[in-house]
Structure 1
């Protein structure tokens, strides 16, 4: 069998296993309906934005930004790759790290894994997203950006896929360079300075990205975008070492030291698991930093649409509270209830430990980035305080909803159509009114600020109540 035949066989098996895993977890029919739900949600959101005065060009820009962020998150395999090599993630990534038993190199397996992800998610997510804008394009009156459905939708899908690919490559290249020690850190810093300088100088960098191709698909822009993606992946291929291992080191035991302060051995174990995994607490900060950047872009976009400068406190506080989901995801990624069965602990104790660890890490990280946003953009004292309350309240609320729906497996419901829809409704009911106030009704009056503060406290209370209701539910589930 040739190298190409082996590579193709591994790709097919990876793709088949991805589908089998998700369809098995989510009962087949429910999973197959997930793309339909995505398309309907996008169609509804685009229609709402267009009817409220948003230009289609702005909507398309936002979709490309989301595709880039999704690519960055998918490319975060770089954070867990080294752990997977040490079997910390078990069979979740068994094929991609099995070069010792397969006649393929580690880099080729990683390349096949990335291509599989691109093909799989381009069909599962990006095709429904592109189809979701079709009604708005069909009803658009004039404008070169609208075009026709027959040309706009395929072009949008192609450029969204390329943007997604670019996001994956940026993360892999960034992780690979960061592992090169001081020289890698210097190179990353230089790249950040150059990117910031290009942005400040208003250089037409965006024109040579996949989004620039969507706006004007000229041969020059297509070549520039392909060159950009190629350079990023070439850099990643050179810098990323799938066999990289940390040097042997001796560290003093910190468990008892941490436990004396946390006063919960299970919560201490949870935090130490995150701290000692690849990326450590930096990956939690990384996720929150991405959310901060997205929030900043949304605030600017909302200001352009409404003509009103949004409330920094209300808008940043409520959106940054969503970082509670990613924090809880990191806290539960390295173990499950089964790993505790050999110890004399019950299921509620495990959830209590996760809750304590979440309170020590989740809201704290959100508040740090919220303080950066307030210092950067400025906010009246009352609005800043209300935003802080909203951040903590939303963070606890999303924690309670996630625990109630998914237990210790927060990633599973992302592909479960029913649970995803319930989660979306649960998030929209409180957040949409808050964001409308923050984006369109600024400056926020004192009575409204007081009502929002009370609402933030109430959301936190609802989250805690849902968490408590989840304990008997998941106790019964794991006993079965």
Structure 2
């Protein structure tokens, strides 16, 4: 019964370890454990500012967001694997040759994701937290039973986010236009009512409510929010898409003409067509960017009522800059430099072209932030835009320096992820603290621009040098 599940788990390990070695991949949960441990050592300082309930709220919604983003990656997974592994076929897409149903394979795939990320993220996080509370006073978090409850409820939060986005992606597979319209309509509605939300609304998340006040009803409701969307996804599963031959007009030449003599016109046109014609199309923008962004805005709107010292718009601009860096992952998932090695190009040329496409895509979050700023606090418009642009540019420059054209791969290397985290986390924490003193502190982030430029130049040189070693 569990043969397919065990095979999928082995496949996942071999696939990742073949990309950057067994030790590099094994160090990833070790880093999560270590990072959580050291951050939790300053828990007494946090407890002077926020309550235990607010700390629990932040942790649970963090894993809800992680689950949603893992589910969103399912939209991109098939194409990513096809590009990276050529004709290699994963078990999840082998239903035609295996004597099992597609629903059975999908159920095992969902179970594999839950187990896989439980070991990779949740268990190291809780273990690091549990070890830290042995050394520092942690109030209500000190009891062993509380740590076990935290392990359960964080898992529930993760699975709620995962199952919800898997269900939405199933709806999108059946009717993309209708689902996109409904999602955008719901987004505008939620944005409209977000200003009326209070902190009690945030605590209604069943997994969080169970952690704060254990009850069978909250546990049952958590199970319903996980099982019902998952069951509906299995019942209405749609894996096989029509294989009819499709043809397209010469959009590439048209796009190149629009861009004129722009140096990277051909590359930007190609990236645009890749995003448009790839599996999921505009859906990946909704599931991988708009939904997490909407959730973040709702959380920050309610959090602003709990902690008035924090500027909702400033924090949103900060988070927006972080999330926008994920768009660089979209742009690089389709290309392998080896396929372009016969052209008179260097790796840095391709990276520069992706950077140009990235800057164009950033117009989307730029417009979103502008509209929200004009609606909520027009006086904070300039500082918020400045904060978003500087953080976004710095984040992508760190990504380019550390991962080149393969951020979706190298960030799962424990060593690389550690460098990435320590390059951005202190900066983000500093920005959160400074935001309490007013929005105009954002002008300090202009100091990041020369740092970002330096990292970009070093990254171009680094990846060109690595290319010369391979050829």
TM over 0.5: yes
| Alignment pair present for 1:385 and 2:387 | no
Residue 401 of structure 1, aligned match among 391, 398, 402: 398
1:91-117 Cα offsets, whole Å, 9 max, x none, are 686221112222222332222122111
Q: Which moved more, 1:457-466 or 1:124-133?
A: 457-466
Aligned to 1:148: 143
Secondary structure of the 1:270 match is helix
Relative to structure 1, is the Cα distance of residues 400 and 217 closer, same or farther in structure 2, using a 3 angstrom cutoff? same
Alignment of 1:168-187 (within 5 A): 168-181=162-175, 184=179
Q: TM-score, normalised by structure 1?
A: 0.84
Q: Is the 8 A contact 1:403 1:470 kept in 2?
A: yes
Relative to structure 1, is the Cα distance of residues 250 and 68 closer, same or farther in structure 2, using a 3 angstrom cutoff? same
Q: Is the 8 A contact 1:299 1:315 kept in 2?
A: no
Q: Which moved more, 1:316-325 or 1:286-295?
A: 286-295
Aligned to 1:325: 325
**Contiguous gaps of at least 5 residues in structure 2:** none
| Shift of residue 51, structure 1, vs aligned partner | 1.4
Q: Distance in 2 between matches of 1:344 and 1:222?
A: 60
| Alignment pair present for 1:240 and 2:237 | yes
| Alignment pair present for 1:130 and 2:133 | no
| Alignment pair present for 1:430 and 2:427 | yes
Residue 112 of structure 1, aligned match among 80, 87, 108: 108
| Alignment pair present for 1:417 and 2:429 | no
Residue 452 of structure 1, aligned match among 436, 442, 454: 442
Q: Is the 8 A contact 2:206 2:218 kept in 1?
A: yes
**Contiguous gaps of at least 5 residues in structure 1:** none
Aligned to 1:41: 35
| Shift of residue 36, structure 1, vs aligned partner | 2.8
1:429-478 Cα offsets, whole Å, 9 max, x none, are 4333222111x213x4xxxx3x632x444323322332222122111212
Secondary structure of the 1:278 match is coil
Alignment of 1:184-333 (within 5 A): 184=179, 207=204, 209-245=206-242, 250-262=247-259, 263=262, 264-289=265-290, 290-291=292-293, 293-294=295-296, 297-298=299-300, 300-301=302-303, 304-305=306-307, 307-310=308-311, 312=313, 314-333=314-333
Q: Distance in 2 between matches of 1:465 and 1:477?
A: 18
Secondary structure of the 2:156 match is helix
| Alignment pair present for 1:473 and 2:453 | no
Q: Distance in 2 between matches of 1:378 and 1:185?
A: 29
Residue 75 of structure 1, aligned match among 48, 71, 75: 71
Aligned to 1:101: 97
Relative to structure 1, is the Cα distance of residues 85 and 473 closer, same or farther in structure 2, using a 3 angstrom cutoff? closer
Relative to structure 1, is the Cα distance of residues 385 and 98 closer, same or farther in structure 2, using a 3 angstrom cutoff? same
Q: Is the 8 A contact 1:74 1:168 kept in 2?
A: yes
Runs (4+) of structure 1 moved beyond 4 Å? 81-89, 135-143, 182-208, 246-250
1:173-197 Cα offsets, whole Å, 9 max, x none, are 1011123336656776898799899
Q: Is the 8 A contact 1:42 1:132 kept in 2?
A: yes
| Shift of residue 49, structure 1, vs aligned partner | 5.0
| Alignment pair present for 1:65 and 2:61 | yes
Relative to structure 1, is the Cα distance of residues 334 and 39 closer, same or farther in structure 2, using a 3 angstrom cutoff? same
Q: Is the 8 A contact 1:39 1:129 kept in 2?
A: yes
| Shift of residue 160, structure 1, vs aligned partner | 1.4
| Shift of residue 327, structure 1, vs aligned partner | 0.6
Aligned to 1:165: 159
Relative to structure 1, is the Cα distance of residues 460 and 276 closer, same or farther in structure 2, using a 3 angstrom cutoff? farther
Q: TM-score, normalised by structure 2?
A: 0.86
Relative to structure 1, is the Cα distance of residues 195 and 147 closer, same or farther in structure 2, using a 3 angstrom cutoff? farther
Secondary structure of the 2:411 match is helix
Relative to structure 1, is the Cα distance of residues 186 and 354 closer, same or farther in structure 2, using a 3 angstrom cutoff? closer
Q: Is the 8 A contact 1:84 1:93 kept in 2?
A: no
| Alignment pair present for 1:353 and 2:364 | no
Q: Distance in 2 between matches of 1:271 and 1:317?
A: 25
Q: Distance in 2 between matches of 1:50 and 1:375?
A: 38
| Shift of residue 255, structure 1, vs aligned partner | 0.4
Q: Is the 8 A contact 2:43 2:138 kept in 1?
A: no
Q: Is the 8 A contact 1:174 1:188 kept in 2?
A: no
1:130-158 Cα offsets, whole Å, 9 max, x none, are 12332565555765xx3612x11222112
| Shift of residue 29, structure 1, vs aligned partner | 3.3
Q: Distance in 2 between matches of 1:201 and 1:321?
A: 24
Q: Which moved more, 1:97-106 or 1:25-34?
A: 25-34
| Shift of residue 389, structure 1, vs aligned partner | 1.7
| Shift of residue 298, structure 1, vs aligned partner | 4.3
- The aligned length equals 458
1:379-434 Cα offsets, whole Å, 9 max, x none, are 41xx3212212211211111111111111111223322222121112113433322
Q: Is the 8 A contact 1:134 1:153 kept in 2?
A: yes
